[in-house]
Amino acid sequence: NFKNLIAVPNPSHIQGVSIASLADQFGTPLYLYDGDKISSQVKILQQAFAATPLKIKYATKALSNINVLKLIRKAGAGVDAVSIEEVKLCMMAGYTAEEIMYTPSGVSFEEIQEAVAMGIMINLDSMPLMEQFGEKYGNTMPACIRINPHIMAGGNLKISTGHSESKFGISIEQLPAILAIVEKYKLQIVGLHIHTGSDILDAEVFLKGGNVLFEAAIQFSDLKFLDFGGGFKVAYKPGDIATDIMEVGKKVGEAFQAFCQRYGRQLELWLEPGKFLVSEAGYLLVKANVVKESPSVTFAGVDTGLNHLIRPMMYDAYHGLYNLSNPDGEKRKYNVVGYICETDTIAAHRELNEIKIGDLLVIKNAGAYGYSMASNYNSRLRPAEVMILDGKAHLIRKRESFEDLIRNQETLEF
Ligand code: LLP
| Radius of gyration for the alpha carbons in the chain, expressed in angstroms and rounded | 23
Domain segments of the chain as ranges: 35-278, 282-401
Of the given ranges (6-10, 25-29, 338-342), which has the lowest mean pLDDT?
6-10
Q: Locate the ligand 1 atom nearest the alpha carbon of residue 272 and give its number.
A: 9
Residue 6: the pLDDT is 54
Q: Locate the ligand 1 atom nearest the alpha carbon of residue 232 and give its number.
A: 13
- d(CA 167, ligand 1 centre) in Å: 14
Structural contact between residues 29 and 307, judged by C-beta atoms closer than 8 angstroms: no
Tell the residue nearest (CA) to atom 8 of ligand 1: 230
Q: Percentage helix, strand, coil, to 5, in the chain?
A: 35, 25, 40
Per-residue pLDDT of 395-410, as tens digits, reads: 999 999 999 999 999 9
- Residue among 202, 192, 194 at smallest CA distance from 228: 194
Is 341 marked active-site?
yes
Tell the residue nearest (CA) to atom 21 of ligand 1: 159
Per-residue pLDDT of 229-283, as tens digits, reads: 999 999 999 888 999 999 999 999 999 999 999 999 999 999 999 999 999 999 9
Mutate to test the pocket of ligand 1, among 272, 309, 311 (most ligand atoms within 8 A of CB): 272
Cα 286 to the center of its chain, rounded Å: 22
Between the alpha carbon of residue 361 and those of residues 240, 355, 381, the distances in Å are 21, 9, 19
Residue 27 has pLDDT above 90, yes or no: yes
Rounded to the nearest 10°, the torsion over CA 156, 205, 369, 377 is: -30
Residue 1: the pLDDT is 46
- Residue among 89, 126, 88, 120 at smallest CA distance from 106: 126
Q: What is the CATH number that goes with domain 35-278?
A: 3.20.20.10
- d(CA 195, ligand 1 centre) in Å: 8
Residue 156: the pLDDT is 81
- d(CA 265, ligand 1 centre) in Å: 30
Q: Give the whole-angstrom CA distance, residue 33 versus residue 44.
A: 18
Mutate to test the pocket of ligand 1, among 61, 80, 284 (most ligand atoms within 8 A of CB): 61
Residue 158: the pLDDT is 80
Q: Locate the ligand 1 atom nearest the alpha carbon of residue 373 and give its number.
A: 16
Q: How confident is the model at residue 152 (pLDDT cuts 50, 70, 90)?
A: confident
Residue 369 marked in a binding site: yes
Residue 230 marked in a binding site: no
Q: Give the whole-angstrom CA distance, residue 73 versus residue 325.
A: 36
- d(CA 58, ligand 1 centre) in Å: 10
Q: Locate the ligand 1 atom nearest the alpha carbon of residue 277 and give its number.
A: 13
What pTM, to 2 d.p., does this model score? 0.96
Q: Give the whole-angstrom CA distance, residue 148 versus residue 168.
A: 6
Residue 40: the pLDDT is 97
Q: Which CATH architecture has domain 282-401?
A: Beta Barrel (2.40)
Residue 315 marked in a binding site: yes
Is the link from the previous residue into 29 a cis peptide, with omega within 30 of 0?
Answer: yes
- d(CA 70, ligand 1 centre) in Å: 20
Residue 155 marked in a binding site: no
Q: Produce one character per residue of 332-370: b if its CB has 16 or more CB atoms within 10 Å, e if not.
A: eebbbbbbbeeebbbbeebebbbbeeebbbbbbbbbbbb
Which DSSP state fits 321? E
Structural contact between residues 201 and 241, judged by C-beta atoms closer than 8 angstroms: yes
Cβ < 6 A, ligand 1 pocket:
59, 62, 80, 103, 159, 161, 195, 198, 229-232, 272-276, 311, 315, 368-369
Q: Locate the ligand 1 atom nearest the alpha carbon of residue 311 and give its number.
A: 24
Residue 110 marked in a binding site: no
- Residue among 376, 360, 404 at smallest CA distance from 305: 376
